[in-house]
Amino acid sequence: MRRFIHRHQPKAHPRVALLAGLGTALAIGGMAFVNDVIGLTVLMAPLGATCVLLFAAPQSPLSQPANVIGGHMLAAAVGLGLHFAIPGSFWMAGLAVGLAVAAMVYLRIVHPPAGATALIAYLTAVSWSFLLFPVALGSVALVAVATFYHRLMRTPYPAPLP
């Protein structure tokens, strides 16, 4: 039973935790500002989960730019494709996420929050423009903010090439 409740992450210094929260708040706050003031849709719920990876685990393979941008774009395309081919089926909603996960694994661009992007695309998308606004622009913006933020904080991101 202990293995189910054991926390595998090492202890984090309070400064590291606060900086991860600050980076997330600045990134999402800035994107919300763009949404409200400029009227450009760049924000969707899965990007909040992306911030967890970008600011709390920037060295994870799942946090790297190709995974963030490619994972969200691929998942949105899969969800949209099924949405327009066979709309309104709970089975297709599951298939959208399943196919997106399979494709991300195969293409080595796994990004867990993108599973939610596939589901949102299937359930709510009204046009292919969803792929650009908020998916492409939002994920590119987050990677750009994370890159700038980590350089400012002197933490490496993206991960160096092997």
Residue-wise pLDDT tens digits, 19-78 = 999 999 999 999 999 999 999 889 999 999 999 999 999 999 999 999 999 999 999 999
pLDDT interval class at 139 (50, 70, 90): very high
* Other beta carbons within 10 Å of 116: 21
- What's the predicted TM-score (pTM) here? 0.95
pLDDT tens digit sequence for 125-136? 779 999 999 999
